[in-house]
Amino acid sequence: MIVAEDMLAAAICSTLAGIVVIAVAYDNEARDLQGALRRVRSLNDELHTKLGHDTVRQIIEALDEPLLVIERDLTVHRVNEKARTLLGGVFEGEALPMFLRQPGAVEAIRSVVESGRPTEREVQFLTPVEAHYILGARPLEGEDGLILVWMRDITKARLTDRMRVDFIANVSHELRTPLATLIGFIETLQGPAAKDEAARTRFLKIMSDEASRMARLIDDLLSLSRIEMDKHVRPSTPLDVRPLLSQMGQSYAVRLEADNRFINLRIPESLPRVIADRDQVLQVLHNLISNAIKYGRSGTGITLEAAIQPGTFPSDPVHVRISVTDEGEGITPENLPRLTERFYRVDSARSRKMGGTGLGLAIVKHIVERHRGELTIESRLGVGTTVAFTLPVLPAEDNAISA
Ligand SMILES: Nc1ncnc2c1ncn2[C@@H]1O[C@H](COP(=O)(O)OP(=O)(O)O)[C@@H](O)[C@H]1O
Ligand SMILES: [Mg+2]
């Protein structure tokens, strides 16, 4: 059996050889067909050595996408590293169906063996992580029985599609619930409760709450899309976070007092300025503190802290780390990674009752990413939660600190 690299080399040679044959046919000085063929053959040999086994192997390995050459009986003839990883360690000489178990994939290749016609099919991998590929197969020309199989990763496109669909479904659902409540109460007020003064007052209060919730949801959606729109434009203005944090602390202190709660401010005497968008930092702080209030316990404190965070290496940028800590019931580890997804809530009913939109942390995540900062959420059940984010220090002030 001719090996795959020979075939690729041969394919390139035969194209070049074709050109040579035409050129030679018009060559008056070389009317001798035998001579022409000899020249073609030597060119062929020359190319063969130029594009030897090792070169072709390297080309196949260098490809960023999984590629295999297989035989008629579906034995693997050649496989590159990408394909080997994707298919869980398949090597030359092994039977492909043992490794390629995705529905429809092997059938697609079999159909190429039988019909000799190229085909493409979408295949889905569920482990170790969900992945989607277009699998293509075609007979290798001039090589009886060898089939070229390649895969194109389309995971990103598929997940984006799904996210878009989910997002629209979520938004509709979130808006429909308060809207249904509003419609229900309007009907009640028009009919059975038309003359009931006490019911009217009570219902109007609920209606006003629901309408505010819809307004908040729309506000959050709009700010999310605005943030996403300029996510690639880094903020460039210097910001002194010290006064911002103490103002924030003071304004919340008044609100918390009513609930027998308090806010601890732990802000160092001096902090370097950071590069940040003031309004967006305020929005982050507001979202985090209101979560700490909503999911914290009555009678407990909330700590708002700021500190300098040096980089791992001296050349790394210095950051200011700002954190909000509550003494609430905490979040289970399985929920932690999903909190920044849009509309993800540990307890939806509770979040809604508290007036939450489920978008607060998604907004926080996008703002922090735009600032090239880092967001971390740490929590212990029954103890509390710390949400922290970092903001890069203004480069000139960077030196002042490390000095
Ligand atoms: N400090 C916290 N303590 C406990 N759970 C929290 C805390 N912050 C956020 N969560 C959980 O994360 C979810 C998402 O938060 P968020 O995006 O702000 O939406 P919302 O507060 O509107 O529900 C909340 O519903 C809640 O379950
Ligand atoms: Mg929130």
Yes or no: say if 83 and 151 are a contact pair by the CB < 8 Å rule.
yes
Give the rounded distance of the alpha carbon of 241 from its chain centre.
30
Indicate the Cα dihedral angle 255, 265, 360, 342, nearest 10°.
Answer: -150
Give distance in angstroms: CA of 359 to centre of ligand 1.
9
User: Hey, what are 78's tokens?
Assistant: 């050649």
Give distance in angstroms: CA of 200 to centre of ligand 1.
33
Q: What's the pLDDT at 400?
A: 59
Q: Which residues pair with 380 in a beta bridge?
A: 384
Q: What's the pLDDT at 58?
A: 85
Instruction: Please tell me if the domain spanning 4-155 has the same topology as the one spanning 158-229.
Output: no
* Nearest atom, ligand 1, residue 326 CA: 1
* Nearest atom, ligand 1, residue 347 CA: 27
Give distance in angstroms: CA of 28 to centre of ligand 2.
85
Distances (CA, A) of 92 to 3, 56, 108, 133, 150: 12, 16, 20, 22, 16
- Atom 9, ligand 1: residue with shortest CA distance: 291
C-alpha to C-alpha distance for 68 and 54, rounded to whole angstroms: 16
Give distance in angstroms: CA of 2 to centre of ligand 1.
62
**Number of Cβ within a 10 Å radius of residue 342:** 20
Instruction: Tell me the best of 295, 350, 385 to mutate to test the pocket of ligand 1, counting ligand atoms within 8 Å of each CB and taking the most.
Output: 295
Instruction: Tell me the best of 216, 286, 289, 339 to mutate to test the pocket of ligand 1, counting ligand atoms within 8 Å of each CB and taking the most.
Output: 339
C-alpha to C-alpha distance for 177 and 180, rounded to whole angstroms: 5
Report domain extents, the chain: 4-155, 158-229, 238-402
**CATH code for the part of the protein at 158-229:** 1.10.287.130
In words, the CATH class of domain 238-402 is alpha beta
4-155: CATH topology is: Beta-Lactamase (3.30.450)
What is the full per-residue pLDDT of the chain (403 aa) written as tens digits? Answer: 444 555 555 544 444 444 444 444 444 444 455 666 666 666 666 665 566 677 778 888 888 899 999 999 999 999 999 999 999 889 999 999 999 989 899 999 999 999 999 999 999 998 778 899 999 999 988 777 899 999 999 999 998 898 889 899 999 999 998 999 999 999 999 998 888 999 999 999 999 999 999 999 999 999 999 998 888 899 999 999 999 999 999 999 988 988 889 999 999 999 999 999 999 999 999 999 999 999 988 899 999 999 999 988 888 899 999 999 999 999 999 999 999 999 999 998 888 888 889 999 999 999 999 999 999 999 999 999 999 999 999 987 765 554 4
Q: What's the pLDDT at 143?
A: 75
Q: What's the pLDDT at 276?
A: 97
C-alpha to C-alpha distance for 391 and 318, rounded to whole angstroms: 9
**Number of Cβ within a 10 Å radius of residue 157:** 10
In degrees and rounded to multiples of 5, residue 323 shows phi and psi of: -135, 150
Q: What's the pLDDT at 314?
A: 84
Using left for φ > 0, alpha for ψ between -120 and 50, and beta otherwise, residue 259 falls in alpha
* Nearest atom, ligand 1, residue 346 CA: 27
Give distance in angstroms: CA of 400 to centre of ligand 1.
37
- Atom 21, ligand 1: residue with shortest CA distance: 356
Give distance in angstroms: CA of 358 to centre of ligand 2.
6
Q: Which residues' Cβ are closer than 6 Å to ligand 1?
A: 287, 291-292, 295, 326, 328, 331, 339, 345-347, 351, 356-362, 385
- Look up the pTM and report it: 0.70
Q: Write b or e for each residue in 350-370: b if 16 or more Cβ atoms lie within 10 A of its Cβ, otherwise e.
A: ebbeeebbbbbbbbbbbbbbb
Largest CA distance in the chain: 112
- Atom 6, ligand 1: residue with shortest CA distance: 295
